[in-house]
Structure 1
């Protein structure tokens, strides 16, 4: 009984999907190639989990080391604070050779945690469908993820991933979409501008020949720039009084226009930030509703189980 209580406590903490009965016997992908699977994957959809409540821009990177180990880095961004946290672990393939079955060990947590995953299907270049299940006694807990190589995949690509779920008869009821918008993507470094300060441009037409030297099979010509070595100081131009007045009148107008443009840009930024905050609040509320639904379902199942146990106890008593 204590094992069941511990499992239910873990289920509440991680909010995976609990169900009565044993874990389904889903066969992992055959001929799975871990080397092709390496790289960066974005979490597009997942089963509801409390641990990812109020998060966005979730992605996982699988990298191999020269020693042959596979490092897993899970990056999650807090929707409200914008802070990122990274959870690292090591991946090990298990099961029969060529099976898409793996275990990830997270040693960076206060308590080391191992989790077994199954790759149901992937085309390596576009999508991957992962699934996990653990159980004790008559209760099992499922979790599932749709991963994509692109941060914002096309609807056609998602249809291929949904086809995998349908093939394994995995319900999409508890799937939630991961917010992959407004993620900090560093731009490519811009090319450095050419430094023309010390470059001297020589006008070939006005160049004055200084020396002509002939050699066997070649001819070299040295040229000297017609630009004087000592530049004369620029003389101030006499500007008519009317033009000076126009210039003084135009400058305040230009400054005013620039200020108006900046104010408009600030207003647009504020509106976009408010829209993002509203969207995040809506997503958090939806996730909380789903959490309540899961808790209610767990409570009902526990009550049903309790009734069944009581009936069995009554049946055992002598009449």
Structure 2
């Protein structure tokens, strides 16, 4: 019984940072045109994300040894219910991003090391390369699909002008952003 409870808590933890929607179809998201991948590599603060209670989330994007692949390393500070039961929720998670078509480098598939539901669409839909970047993830899980929007910045706090821009883009794509949570970086090391 305890094992079943831990498994359920574990699955709940993986589902966080996404919203779940009926149907096996992800919404159409337009990839950022003519993205230069080299310009988005490096360290980013995750300033906003769908349905999360994480703090101090950072992404590091780097070139993979495999052609048409990127490595993503996510570091976060997480206090989880799972910690009460002795389950050490990972604070560092890795992912492999495969760019499926080199003529559309802003669109790929991401494979998170801790995701039981498999690969997800990974679409960079906006960036200015220097201040912010907006990413949409979606994967099919049974009869539903899971979505997440991640807004990243080069500084711990995102300028409101970029947040409003991303919200406007999401509205135009008919993707509600009411679950977009702010991620605090105030108590980070």
TM-score (norm 1): 0.46
One of 101, 108, 113 as aligned partner of 1:102: 108
- Structure with the bigger percentage of strand: 2
* Structure 2 counterparts to residues 71-150 of structure 1, below 5 A: 71-79=71-79, 85-95=91-101, 97-107=103-113, 109=114, 113-135=118-140, 139-150=144-155
Name the counterpart of 1:46.
49
Q: 1:89–1:134: structure 2 CA closer, same or farther, 3 Å change rule?
A: closer
Consecutive unaligned residues of structure 1, counting only runs of 5 or more, are 1-8, 185-319
Q: How many residues were matched structurally?
A: 170
Q: CA RMSD in A?
A: 3.2
Q: Higher relative contact order at CA 8 Å, sep ≥6: structure 1 or structure 2? A: 2
Q: 1:67–1:173: structure 2 CA closer, same or farther, 3 Å change rule?
A: closer
Secondary structure at the aligned position of 1:32 is classed as coil
- Structure with the bigger percentage of helix: 1
User: Cα offset for 1:32?
Assistant: 1.5
User: Cα offset for 1:91?
Assistant: 2.5
Secondary structure at the aligned position of 1:102 is classed as strand
Aligned equivalents of 2:155, 2:100: Cα separation in 1: 28
Contact 2:49/2:180 (<8 A) preserved: yes
Name the counterpart of 1:58.
57
Name the counterpart of 2:19.
17
Consecutive unaligned residues of structure 2, counting only runs of 5 or more, are 1-9, 84-88
TM-score (norm 2): 0.73
Secondary structure at the aligned position of 2:110 is classed as strand
Aligned equivalents of 2:21, 2:115: Cα separation in 1: 28
